[in-house]
């Protein structure tokens, strides 16, 4: 069971990373220099790759922290989405213009958060937690 949760967490984090980097390339920041526009996707890729690597190598140690971070990301994006939907002259948000579309966009983040949090308790015999008995 723990390998399934671990693989689902890694796949969901990979999907979140790909969507994040693709969004950074597709919708570049306005009002910044071209160097910053080039660095934005590269730094996003580096950040998500770091989180995926940590979850891959030390799921018990990093799972809870990454899961809580992803829950905060979801809460913040929900807050920003509700502000943009409430404005009568909001710009087109693409698929996230409807509630069901927004939930669909947030689903990989929530799945990754849940699986990462579960990793904390699904790896009780992780190598760094095994205590050696003195014989």
Burial of residue 13, with CB atoms counted within 10 A of its CB: 0-12 exposed, 13-18 middle, 19 or more buried: buried
For 117, residues 6+ apart whose C-beta sits below 8 A from its C-beta are: 63, 64, 67, 68
What's the rounded Cα separation, in Å, for the pair 35 and 5? 39
Among 99, 106, 95, 68, CA closest to 82? 99
Whether 13 contacts 50, CB under 8 Å: no
User: Could you read off the pLDDT of 102-122 as tens digits, one per residue?
Assistant: 898 899 999 999 999 998 886
User: Could you read off the pLDDT of 12-62 as tens digits, one per residue?
Assistant: 999 999 998 998 888 777 788 888 888 889 999 999 999 999 999 988 888
């Amino acid at each position: 069971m723990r390998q399934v949760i671990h693989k689902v967490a890694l796949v969901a984090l990979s999907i979140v990373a790909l969507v994040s980097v693709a969004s950074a390339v597709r919708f570049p920041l306005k009002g910044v220099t071209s160097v910053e526009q080039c660095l934005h996707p590269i730094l996003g890729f580096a950040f998500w790759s770091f989180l995926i690597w940590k979850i891959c190598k030390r799921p018990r140690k990093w799972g809870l922290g990454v899961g809580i971070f992803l829950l905060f990301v979801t809460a913040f994006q929900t807050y920003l989405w509700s502000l943009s939907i409430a404005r009568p002259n909001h710009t087109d948000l693409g698929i996230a213009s409807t509630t069901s579309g927004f939930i669909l966009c947030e689903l990989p983040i929530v799945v990754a958060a849940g699986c990462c949090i579960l990793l904390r308790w699904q790896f009780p015999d992780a190598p760094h937690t095994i205590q050696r008995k003195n014989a």
